[in-house]
């Protein structure tokens, strides 16, 4: 009987812990802005393979950019000439673009006045390598907030709940991942990094993702990736 009571207590504790973690994630979203009731628009996107983006092992940047432009079109996201001309895409030098990569554009990065605006683009299931931001000679460690425009993302860091069973972390990054608490964000959701210098990363949801980032000045010299093989 005593053993049964102990087992029940362990189950109750585990259930309560998961529930509180999930509630914390929702509350952290609500602290910035109430979670949107809007459902994620389903769009038809190709099932990409790494072979689509490499020739003789070399990353094909223009092909990668086109994949993002196609995703934008599917979501009805406008592509002005400035974006088409200045957007960049990267596989972080890891050769696993379908699983680990991103595109983006820095709308503004103002060292003098200390502010930064960035758009992040992720294909379905694509991960930005885990990282943190440190203080440099040019400024304090970067603090950032994410605002989902289209699709959805999973943010992983020091806060949140367990990783959903259907979210598959890239095998190429498993040994470099140190934070595994997860929050899902949908269109309209806003969430802020829990603390400066905290390690974090995000992954695109099933429909990919378009995310606005609002932050303090970004100095690339302050980036600290957990994967030492990253080139960015």
Band of residue 41 on the pLDDT scale cut at 50, 70, 90:
confident
Q: Which long-range contacts (CB under 8 A, 24 or more apart) does 55-61 make?
A: 57/95, 59/91, 59/95, 59/97, 61/88, 61/89
Phi/psi at 110 (5° precision): -105, 100
Q: What is the pTM of this model?
A: 0.86
Residue 177: which of 154, 196, 195, 194 has the closest Cα?
A: 154
Mean pLDDT of the chain: 89
Mean pLDDT of 89-97: 98
Of the candidate CATH numbers 3.40.50.300, 2.60.120.10, 3.40.228.10, 3.30.43.10, the domain formed by 2-225 belongs to 2.60.120.10
CB 53 within 8 A of CB 91: yes
pLDDT digits (tens, 9 = 90+) for 101-110: 999 999 999 9
pLDDT digits (tens, 9 = 90+) for 177-203: 999 999 999 999 999 999 999 999 999
Per-domain residue ranges of the chain: 2-225
pLDDT of residue 119: 98
pLDDT of residue 35: 46
pLDDT of residue 30: 46
Is residue 128 pLDDT above 60, yes or no?
A: yes
Band of residue 2 on the pLDDT scale cut at 50, 70, 90:
very low
pLDDT digits (tens, 9 = 90+) for 5-14: 455 445 444 4
């Amino acid at each position: 009987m005593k053993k049964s009571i102990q087992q029940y207590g362990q189950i109750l504790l585990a259930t309560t812990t998961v529930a509180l973690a999930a509630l914390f994630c929702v509350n952290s979203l609500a602290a910035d802005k109430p979670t949107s009731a809007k459902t994620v628009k389903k769009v038809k996107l190709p099932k990409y393979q790494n072979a689509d983006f490499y020739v003789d092992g070399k990353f094909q940047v223009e092909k990668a950019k086109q994949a993002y432009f196609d995703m934008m079109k599917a979501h009805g996201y406008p592509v002005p000439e400035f974006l088409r001309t200045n957007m960049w895409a990267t596989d972080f030098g890891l050769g696993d673009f379908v699983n680990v990569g991103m595109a983006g554009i820095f709308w503004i990065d103002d060292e003098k006045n200390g502010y930064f605006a960035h758009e992040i683009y992720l294909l379905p299931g694509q991960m930005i390598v885990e990282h943190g931001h440190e203080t440099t000679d040019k400024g304090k460690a970067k603090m950032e907030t994410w605002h989902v425009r289209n699709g959805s993302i999973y943010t992983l860091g020091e806060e949140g709940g367990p990783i959903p069973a259907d979210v598959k972390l890239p095998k190429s990054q498993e040994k470099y991942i140190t934070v595994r608490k997860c929050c899902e964000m949908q269109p309209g959701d806003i969430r802020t990094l829990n603390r400066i210098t905290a390690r974090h990363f995000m992954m695109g949801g099933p429909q990919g993702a378009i995310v606005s980032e609002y932050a303090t000045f970004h100095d690339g010299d302050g980036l600290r990736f957990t994967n030492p093989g990253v080139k960015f």
